[in-house]
Structure 1
Amino acid sequence: MKTVITFGTFDIFHIGHLNILRRASEMGDRLVVGISSDRLNFNKKQRHPVYPQQQRMAIVSQIKGVDEVFLEESLEKKAEYIRQFSASVLVMGDDWAGRFDHLQTLCKVCYLPRTPSISTTSIIEVTRSQII
């Protein structure tokens, strides 16, 4: 069985999230998704997610092709998560290109192109500007 693993915040779920999960699931027999904890998201982006981690995990777990979700506590634990789930492929968006190449000793690392013109951050910024 070929297990694919990917990671993300998956806040304000949008078509870009769906696209990367669909493409990742097509790369193997099983897809495991690490959902960034609220604390990790704040450390990465200096803002709290709109939806708390348990709600984001519930949403992603219901997406067709996703077999398992877990809470990602640290970016530095990617190797540990790869081993824990016996992943043979790590999929990340191409905005992370090169950042996880050192993990190629554990599994294949694949950076997929992001969906053009969509991001959670831009959705939040547009929404905020329309409210003010």
Structure 2
Amino acid sequence: MSERTVITFGTFDVLHVGHVRLLARARALGSRLVVGVSSDQLNLQKKGRLPVFPQEERLEILASLGAVDEVFLEESLELKRAYVLNSGAAVLAMGDDWLGKFDELSDVCDVVYFERTPSISTTAIIEQILGDAD
């Protein structure tokens, strides 16, 4: 079987079962999974806050997972096409919170959107932890 690379992207802050399920589903689409981990600065631009865990730790956590073959730091949303091409990905897999946002990449790879795990959100987890600390 020839190698079929799948790529996905995310912040992967406060790793939870939703992340694990997304990574497992993405990995099942190919023989190799490459993960772009949003830089601290990119997360600040996207979400208006820094991640709980710094980028170096998030990269290390993702690299340690069995489903993940390679990680790299994603520094710009505008570079998605370059990241896909540089990785040799045949598939881009994303959560459906990004539905339609990367359809323009379908000329270089298959684009798949996975349904999010119901009632699981990093933001909600962080808010719950902060609320419990009060």
Range of TM-score over shorter length: over 0.9
Alpha-carbon distance between aligned partners in 1 of 2:99 and 2:44, rounded to the nearest angstrom: 21
Q: Tell me, in whole angstroms, the C-alpha distance in 1 between the residues paired with 2:64 and 2:114.
A: 22
Q: Which amino acid aligns with 2:5?
A: T
Deviations 1:23-73 (A, max 9, x none): 100000100000000000000000000000000000011111100000000
Q: SS where residue 98 of structure 1 aligns?
A: coil
Structure 2 counterpart of 1:61, from 60, 63, 68: 63
Structure 1 SS opposite 2:24: helix
Aligned to 1:18: 20
The answer as to 2:79 corresponding to 1:77 is yes
| Structure 1: 5+ residue stretches without partners | none
Helix, strand or coil for the counterpart of 1:66?
coil
What corresponds to 1:113 in structure 2? Answer: 115
Moved over 3 A (4+): none
Alignment partners' CA distance in 2, 1:124 and 1:92: 22
RMSD over equivalenced CA pairs, Å: 0.5
1:54 is paired with a residue of what secondary structure? Answer: helix
For 1:59 and 1:86, locate their aligned partners in 2 and report how far apart those are by CA, in whole Å. Answer: 23
Give the Cα separation in 1 of the matches to 2:77 and 2:42: 8
Q: Percent identity?
A: 56
